Structure 1
Amino acid sequence: MLLASILVLAVGTYTMRLGGVLLRDRLQFPDSFQRLLPMAATALLAALATTAALMEGAHFAGVARPAGVLVGAVLAGRRMPFVVVVIAAAATAALLRRAGVS
């Protein structure tokens, strides 16, 4: 079943990419729509990141995970190296959990 799911996703992804190449010259979107597409992608990624940061399954993930994400976001905003951002975010969450903050 897992292999079939992977195969279906691979075929679907390839079909979508091929459709973009084949239909590039045939479809014309209005300028207002073309300006909205990058914002829509950004909003989708922000929603995914927020959900992953705040939720664990169907429940709130606790305070430690969002605090780690916040530390990572602040360090990324200050243009720190990616490794530093990831380690600091993980360490913040781990230290808060070690201190008993869930």
Structure 2
Amino acid sequence: MSVDVWLLIGACAAVTALIKGVGPVALGGRPLPARATGVITLLAPALLAALVVTGVAGQDGHLGLGVEAVGVAAGGAVALRGGSILVCVVVAAVVTAGLRAIG
């Protein structure tokens, strides 16, 4: 790897540490307001949904649906029918792999 890549990795690590340290320093041991806690609680599911959508529907910088979308839909159908998360993941992987093997 080049020096530029290592500098970028170091800068990202430093910015991450800075961002993580700002919250405790700014609050000074006080609890977060209830409204802020509610927003922070909803950030993880929203970020996960965004990552799934971009991973499934984003292809080469464009929005498009492929075999991954069908696999996620199959896993979602299993989840709606009450299946465990492990079964959902296995079904999604098998459907996606099967469609890739066919096409």
TM-score w.r.t. structure 2 length? Answer: 0.70
Shift of the 33–19 alpha-carbon distance from structure 1 to 2, 3 Å rule, reads closer
Quickly say closer, same or farther: Cα 1:10–1:45, change in 2 above 3 A: same
Unaligned runs of 5+ in 1: none
Q: Residue 88 of structure 1 corresponds to which residue in structure 2?
A: 91
Q: Distance in 2 between matches of 1:35 and 1:48?
A: 21
Residue 16 of structure 1, CA deviation? 1.5
Give 1:63 shift: 3.0
Of the three residues 35, 39, 43, the one matched with 1:40 is: 43
Structure having greater relative contact order (Cα 8 Å, sep ≥ 6): 1
TM-score (norm 1): 0.70
Q: Distance in 2 between matches of 1:85 and 1:57?
A: 26
Q: CA RMSD in A?
A: 2.6
Distance 1:42 1:87, change over 3 A: closer
Structure 1 equivalent of residue 83 of structure 2: 78
CA distance in 1, matches of 2:90, 2:64: 19
Aligned residue pairs total 98
- Which residue of the partner structure matches residue 6 of structure 1? 9
